[in-house]
Structure 1
């Protein structure tokens, strides 16, 4: 947005130094902004923009360069000020229609004109700086005393004598003061559309004045983006009355919102740090619940009361990984992004009687959610409905390959540990099998049966005998792909991006390594069983290590 002109051509002509000056051209726009004065001899040798600039010309210089007036008009000069009477050689038909030419009643010299503009500009700048300092001190004092968002916005409204609103990056209202709800909705809805349609407004660094069309007519507002470093956090807006304010009021509003963005941005950071600290404390408690790591029931109930968690409720545990988690888990601030993603997941299918608690364990997002249903069938349906909604929400956010796994519902907090274990086993199996969407532990029945024997010594000896020679080698990946494609050589070759003859050669090597023909159905079942037992054994070892961590 262009700043409001602090000095116009009309204001310049009202100065005592310009007494007796008159406009001698057809162009009479005295509202053009004036910031600089440059001599004609200098600007004619350059081709830069002349916006908010008056060109000083001595009569004899203008007579010699009448052809250059069209160039001055095209470059946006506010006016030509002739230091004396307009020369006879410069007639009205030679002056461009949109160029203002002013002749002075007596010569004043370029130095006096330039000094006048400098003094006026500096005076206005000092006035703006003093007002900005006053606004900043008022808001910073409230922030220092911990007044909160509502008091800060109340002060913004008092300084501007107008309603004030804070919007988040999506255009949703965070706080407001001095405006009733019907008018707020009537203004915010079209404003949100305007902000989403005009990327230049969101990318602006300074305050701007926008017009929005409401059912009650057109309204205008002054709005400025809240930027904290490289991050965009929303807007601060001052809503004008039905009548558009004057130039001075608009300039004041721009100063107020510009100063308010820094202070309100600091308050947003403070609130976020408090929320994140509370979230971490609650997340630590949720981790203790799913790991069953409380020293006594008294400690568990004391912390549950502090975190407002009903330990006797029915809970469901959901676990997921996303493509963003896998890619960004080692990057700075990755934990914040994961926690934010988990918070989004917890907000799916909101209900006033349902509470959701989130935590992040490494690269796994965990949601512990209370269940309203009473019967087993209704509980299962409610849990699956949420898992499907959570998977769909992740897909909308760009994580289409995510699986949301869940175990059996836990009747009471003491059984959350087992429900989490089932969800984690189901999640790791789903990742290995390239499954997505809602995945229930009970649906993986074959794995559930094998899990009971996977960690026995006899099972480990069996897997070592069958697939031990190829474990950790290229042949192991080929065996997995071959069995996943049901023994179809062509499909496995496509999956591995390998020529069919090359795959046949490697299958022969695989048969020799495993000491059995991998193309025989009976041997394929044996290999499939060994791979599943090996997978479950590794999952069980990993989970046991995690669950025993304190």
Structure 2
């Protein structure tokens, strides 16, 4: 094979596509010394599994793979035609057969092969020969399968890995071998020293125009065999799916550069049949290791975000294992993904979609939120807000990439950059608060706690007893004013957000201007404040901001304590 291309085109008009190669066929049976003088007509590639005398065959319901032995007495044409409709492997005629009788029997049998045995071959000799050849084939396949399984199992036991398994499969078959994942990506590739198939070209072909034979293999009970064009040259492919516990993880693909001998093709099938179990077990082992590493990495990220390290030495020891710096500048981002429940599967992708320069970020799923910790070093002599701009740009890119990956809305927020790993928990808390505020305020784009300057400035006041008391005292009369309290509160908020413009507030609430004036008058009486005065407007605006920030902070703190 050359490396000009690797277009694979499966065909199914060869004998190997109609039955498994290597099984006993009528043609193989006629090669035996006993039957070399026999005369035969019809297709000789039919599989032979057993032999029955005429009397038993007439009563049998199924004759697939069965040789029907007829004595020298000419069989009844009507019975023979009925028997042939059950499609036996062949009809064997014992004794001397005249030309006229031969022609009549052949015409009656149609597509069913007819074999004239001669004078001295009885049913016992034919039955014994078929049994011996069938059992010999099964024993050979079993012995060879055990040998292949033992060789591959030794590699699996030593933990040699996927490349070593592919290399051993290539050595056993003297063919090119590719182990594919469920997305048809090449996990391991090996070929003999004389092979010249280009791996990249094969990978590109599998991605752009995979052969139909691969999909066809999913519906069978064994390896699928078909002709192919690889690099412009004819080849034979043997492919089988890797399925363990009902889960499909990929394929084992074997490529023979020429038309192989049936015996070699049978060995290729055995190699692939044994390989799928061993390779599937190795995939399961690698997946278990990867999941364990992912859980350990997630535990480390959780500890960073919640400040659960006992001392600096413990932090540095854990960070060194993940090659994570402890003295850099960090931006903590959180992403809320729809639909809920997909965060865990995307946490790893969050570190791959937008790989930054320098240390790679770490990510973990916390409930329905993905938390990303990105270490970076701001450029020297940078502007005071350079670190904020770096995190903001990364947040926008992350939101776009994750949105493309999930095909749905993704909301990203971030905390203010911090210096030193011990302060990551502070930035994470701010990121969660910013995400909560973004949802309540209906902001469309990624935002940071630093961007919400008003809330950043009021954070300490909102956490204080004095701030909570101020907000409660001012807003409580409005919220406890009966059934209309909710409408009055919405009217006051719209009025404040519109800068005291009654017409703009009325348009926002889709009410008449006079209705808006009436609601504001009622609210003034309930609050005992003149909402037309700027000082009272500011007091109410401040109370609403403090209340909004306090509710967002309380919700985040409850979640942080729960985790």
TM-score normalised by length of structure 1: 0.77
CA contact (8 A) 1:5 1:34 kept: no
**Residue correspondence of structure 1 range 325-474 to structure 2 within 5 A:** 326=340, 328=341, 338-351=343-356, 353-371=358-376, 374=379, 375=382, 379-380=387-388, 382-432=390-440, 438-461=446-469, 462-463=471-472, 465=476
**Residue correspondence of structure 1 range 275-290 to structure 2 within 5 A:** 275-290=290-305
Unmatched 5+ stretches in structure 2: 1-16, 499-503
Report the equivalent of 1:265: 280
Query: What SS does structure 2 have at the residue aligned with 1:234?
Result: strand
Q: Does 1:123 align with 2:136?
A: yes
Shift of 1:309: 1.0
TM-score normalised by length of structure 2: 0.75
Q: Does 1:170 align with 2:170?
A: no
Shift of 1:89: 5.5
Q: In structure 2, what is the Cα distance between the partners aligned to 1:101 and 1:524? A: 105
CA contact (8 A) 1:149 1:175 kept: yes
- Provide, for residues 401-452 of structure 1, a one-character-per-residue CA deviation record: whole Å limited to 9, x for no partner: 2212222333332332232122212223344556666343334445445544
Q: Does 1:244 align with 2:256?
A: no
Between stretches 254-263 and 351-360, larger displacement belongs to: 351-360
Report the equivalent of 1:206: 222
Report the equivalent of 2:312: 297
**Residue correspondence of structure 1 range 307-326 to structure 2 within 5 A:** 307-324=322-339, 326=340
Match of 2:91 among 73, 80, 96: 80
Between stretches 473-482 and 447-456, larger displacement belongs to: 473-482
Shift of 1:174: 1.8
Q: In structure 2, what is the Cα distance between the partners aligned to 1:177 and 1:90? A: 54
Report the equivalent of 1:154: 167
Q: In structure 2, what is the Cα distance between the partners aligned to 1:491 and 1:62? A: 97
Report the equivalent of 1:91: 103
Q: In structure 2, what is the Cα distance between the partners aligned to 1:482 and 1:224? A: 69
Q: In structure 1, what is the Cα distance between the partners aligned to 2:95 and 2:76? A: 11
- What is the total number of aligned residue pairs between the two structures? 515
Q: In structure 2, what is the Cα distance between the partners aligned to 1:159 and 1:213? A: 23
Taking structure 1 as reference, are residues 167 and 43 closer, same or farther at Cα in structure 2, changes over 3 Å only?
Answer: same
Q: In structure 1, what is the Cα distance between the partners aligned to 2:484 and 2:324? A: 49
Shift of 1:260: 1.9
Taking structure 1 as reference, are residues 204 and 525 closer, same or farther at Cα in structure 2, changes over 3 Å only?
Answer: farther
Taking structure 1 as reference, are residues 298 and 54 closer, same or farther at Cα in structure 2, changes over 3 Å only?
Answer: same
Q: In structure 2, what is the Cα distance between the partners aligned to 1:430 and 1:469? A: 27
Report the equivalent of 1:11: 28
Shift of 1:57: 4.0
Q: In structure 1, what is the Cα distance between the partners aligned to 2:551 and 2:222? A: 56
Between stretches 143-152 and 257-266, larger displacement belongs to: 143-152
CA contact (8 A) 1:467 1:530 kept: no
Query: What SS does structure 2 have at the residue aligned with 1:32?
Result: coil
Q: Does 1:71 align with 2:85?
A: yes
CA contact (8 A) 2:331 2:373 kept: yes
Taking structure 1 as reference, are residues 400 and 38 closer, same or farther at Cα in structure 2, changes over 3 Å only?
Answer: farther
Shift of 1:298: 2.7
CA contact (8 A) 2:185 2:206 kept: no
Match of 2:241 among 225, 238, 252: 225
Taking structure 1 as reference, are residues 406 and 187 closer, same or farther at Cα in structure 2, changes over 3 Å only?
Answer: same
Query: What SS does structure 1 have at the residue aligned with 2:118?
Result: coil
Report the equivalent of 1:35: 49
Q: In structure 1, what is the Cα distance between the partners aligned to 2:393 and 2:319? A: 27
Q: In structure 2, what is the Cα distance between the partners aligned to 1:477 and 1:225? A: 63
CA contact (8 A) 2:234 2:258 kept: no
CA contact (8 A) 1:379 1:409 kept: yes
Match of 2:251 among 235, 257, 272: 235
Structure of larger gyration radius: 2
CA contact (8 A) 1:402 1:436 kept: no
Shift of 1:528: 8.7
- Provide, for residues 208-230 of structure 1, a one-character-per-residue CA deviation record: whole Å limited to 9, x for no partner: 23554444434433222222312
Unmatched 5+ stretches in structure 1: 329-336, 494-499
**Residue correspondence of structure 1 range 101-112 to structure 2 within 5 A:** 101-106=114-119, 108=121
Relative CO higher for 1 or 2, CA cutoff 8 Å, sep ≥ 6?
Answer: 2
- Provide, for residues 281-310 of structure 1, a one-character-per-residue CA deviation record: whole Å limited to 9, x for no partner: 232222222222323223222322222111
Q: In structure 2, what is the Cα distance between the partners aligned to 1:213 and 1:20? A: 40
CA contact (8 A) 1:348 1:386 kept: no
CA contact (8 A) 1:220 1:239 kept: yes
CA contact (8 A) 1:37 1:114 kept: yes
Shift of 1:352: 5.9
- Provide, for residues 355-404 of structure 1, a one-character-per-residue CA deviation record: whole Å limited to 9, x for no partner: 12122223322121233652456655543443334333333343512212
Q: In structure 2, what is the Cα distance between the partners aligned to 1:55 and 1:475? A: 95
CA contact (8 A) 2:92 2:114 kept: yes
Taking structure 1 as reference, are residues 112 and 182 closer, same or farther at Cα in structure 2, changes over 3 Å only?
Answer: closer
Taking structure 1 as reference, are residues 465 and 479 closer, same or farther at Cα in structure 2, changes over 3 Å only?
Answer: closer
Q: In structure 2, what is the Cα distance between the partners aligned to 1:308 and 1:36? A: 66
- Provide, for residues 187-215 of structure 1, a one-character-per-residue CA deviation record: whole Å limited to 9, x for no partner: 23223445486643456553223554444
Q: In structure 2, what is the Cα distance between the partners aligned to 1:302 and 1:373? A: 25
CA contact (8 A) 2:479 2:485 kept: no
